[in-house]
Amino acid sequence: MPLSPQKTAEAVQQAIIRLLTPVAHQVQTLTFDNGSEFMQHEKMAAALKAKTYFATPHASWERGINENTNGLLRQFFPKRTNFKTVTPAQVEQALSLLNNRPRKTRNYKTPNELFAKTCVPLISPAEIALMT
């Protein structure tokens, strides 16, 4: 299933809520650009219990990690890539490689490592130790 079959505000809102609901307890803020596809930001904020922000137009420095990630994605999908020919497996491979790549700006931790640290374990470290 594609992330969003179209760029309508309704489709984007539904896709964002569907994708972030499993980790909603970790979502505190959502920052958008000023595209019309984010017009339903209030519904997303309510569903995810998060605050929403909008970046100033033409101020890419307000979305530094986003802009950096876009540049990294270009290594896999250069400009003018026809995404109708890109398979879900290709997207998954790129995401896996990027999410496991250490980032200098994050003290050489990977996004997956940082995300895992924000998760609350369902059992305590002592219980884990007893299982090994």
Higher-confidence residue of 73 and 120: namely 73
Name the band, by pLDDT with cuts 50, 70 and 90, for residue 99.
very high
Does residue 97 have a pLDDT over 70?
yes
Chain mean pLDDT for the chain: 84
> What DSSP string describes the chain?
--S-SS--HHHHHHHHHHHHGGGGGG--EEEE-S-GGGTTHHHHHHHHT-EEEEPPTT-GGGGHHHHHHHHHHTTTS-TT--TTS--HHHHHHHHHHHHTS-BGGGTTB-HHHHHHHHSPPSS-HHHHHHH-
The verdict on pTM exceeding 0.95 is no
Range from 17-31, 47-61, 73-87, 113-127 carrying the lowest mean pLDDT: 113-127
Higher-confidence residue of 2 and 75: namely 75
Name the band, by pLDDT with cuts 50, 70 and 90, for residue 51.
very high
